[in-house]
A and B are shown apart, each in its own frame.
Chain A
Amino acid sequence: MAKEIQNPNQQQTLEKKADKNQENNSNLNVWTIISLVEFVLILFLLFRLFKRKEKPTSSNKAFSRDEIVNEKIDYENILKSSFQARDLYDKLKKKCHPDRFPTDLELNKIADELFQEIQKNKTNLKRLEELKNEAILKLKISF
């Protein structure tokens, strides 16, 4: 009698377990599909990344790339030039204009060369300061 009473409960628990397993399996299947889709997506993106043909060869690229990337950049000059180069350039272009030396041909020539250099380096404070010193020496002017 005891056995008969237990059986229905056991059967119920077994049925419940079977349902749960089925549910788990269906969940697993969904996650498996999602992970497969992600894997395919990653492969596709990697394929696109490696597909580019026009990039230079790795050995040539490494040689020139490292040289360029490791080159020392004068950030301080760039930062100072952003705020100070304009004023210095304005002063230099007035003081070193060749028209200020109409009579002396030699000074006129020097002023012309300096003026061209000043025009080329109008955003480079370091170079402008060097040109300023050169102008003081060669053109005998004061600032």
Chain B
Amino acid sequence: MLANAWNKIKDWFRDRNDRNETVRDWNNSAKDAFIAGIVPAFLKSRITKGNSKYKHKFSHTFNTGFRVEVLAGRPLTRDDLIFLGDVILGDTSLVRKLVVLGFDTLEVHGENDSYGLQWQLITYLELGS
């Protein structure tokens, strides 16, 4: 039982590390792309509280939201946010990774948390693929 408990503690810290690494990798790529002029806005990601209604089997106890903030210098329309969400959810590898790491909510927000949308990640997971 002690060995099991110890393994669970190790897994918990490993999950935290992997989650932070995912956010870090995203932010580094976004920063490089923005500085190089490849994209016109900085898409900054961070971990948030998430939506408790979207919980699934692998959801973490706390902070299950993966938020992407679009720092474009202008307000974004609802269509822009929806398209951005579709792009992220269209990458099945990323969605699978986020679900396995305990995230259950994808959030896309404009600047200064002005307006945002949420998606339940598990519904976009292609099981068996």
CA distance A113 to B65 in the complex (A): 38
Judging by beta carbons under 8 Å apart, are A123 and B93 in contact? no
CA distance A65 to B26 in the complex (A): 19
CA distance A86 to B100 in the complex (A): 29
Q: Mark A54-94, 1 if CB is under 8 A from B, else 0.
A: 11001000000100110101111111111101100000000
Judging by beta carbons under 8 Å apart, are A46 and B5 in contact? yes
CB distance from A119 to the nearest CB of B (A): 12
Judging by beta carbons under 8 Å apart, are B29 and A75 in contact? yes
Judging by beta carbons under 8 Å apart, are A78 and B100 in contact? no
Main secondary structure of the interface of A (DSSP, over half): helix
Interface residue tally for chain A (C-beta within 8 Å): 26
Q: Mark B81-124, 1 if CB is under 8 A from A, else 0.
A: 00110111011011011001100000000000000000000000
Which of A71, A75, A76 counts the most chain B CB atoms within 10 A?
A75
CA distance A78 to B61 in the complex (A): 28
Q: Which B residues lie within 8 Å of A81 (CB)? A: 87, 90
CA distance A69 to B25 in the complex (A): 12
Judging by beta carbons under 8 Å apart, are B91 and A49 in contact? no
Q: Mark B26-44, 1 if CB is under 8 A from A, else 0.
A: 1001100100001111010
CB distance from B68 to the nearest CB of A (A): 9
The 8 Å CB contact of B91, one of A55, A68, A78, is A78
What are 20 A-B contacts with C-beta separation under 8 Å? A49-B12, A49-B61, A54-B57, A55-B58, A58-B7, A58-B11, A69-B101, A73-B93, A74-B91, A78-B88, A79-B29, A79-B38, A80-B33, A80-B39, A81-B90, A82-B39, A82-B43, A82-B87, A123-B87, A123-B90
**Chain B residues in the interface with A (C-beta under 8 A):** 4-5, 7-8, 11-12, 18, 25-26, 29-30, 33, 38-41, 43, 57-58, 61, 83-84, 86-88, 90-91, 93-94, 96-97, 100-101
